[in-house]
Amino acid sequence: MMAALQDPRKEVMNIRNLFPDKIALRLDESEQVDMVLGDGARDRGALADHISPVPELGAGVGYVRLETSPDPVRVRAAYVSDADIRAMVTEYGGRSEAA
């Protein structure tokens, strides 16, 4: 099961502490990092408030804190732009499975 919040300052999900593993993407304020990942996470290197809003630089970047370790890990998923998706559709779209 996964739950997601857009604003960690709001208590809209009263069971958030029951999720042992936490993921923080780009956040607006340094205080929000500890709200999402736990006390001291920012001091241990989770600089989620420094992730760039420029998609080519910051999209897919996040920090993960697992239940088994208090230390956050920086992660990055692949970024696929709209132009990349259009190019893939042009290149591969319309082909039948028999091809």
Q: Where are the domains of the chain?
A: 19-92
Q: Give the pLDDT band (50/70/90) at residue 45.
A: very high
Rounded mean pLDDT of 31-36? 94
pLDDT at 19: 86
**pLDDT at 95 exceeding the cut of 70:** no
Q: Which residues pair with 62 in a beta bridge?
A: 75
To the question of pTM greater than 0.85 for the whole model, the response is no
**What's the pLDDT at 42?**
97
**Secondary structure of residue 30 in the 3-state scheme:** helix
C-alpha span between 57 and 24 (Å, rounded)? 16
Q: Is the pLDDT of residue 49 over 80?
A: yes
Q: Are 58 and 51 in contact (CB under 8 A)?
A: yes
- Main-chain dihedrals φ then ψ at residue 80, nearest 5 degrees: -120, 115
DSSP string, 72-98: -EEEE-----HHHHHHHHHHHTT--TT
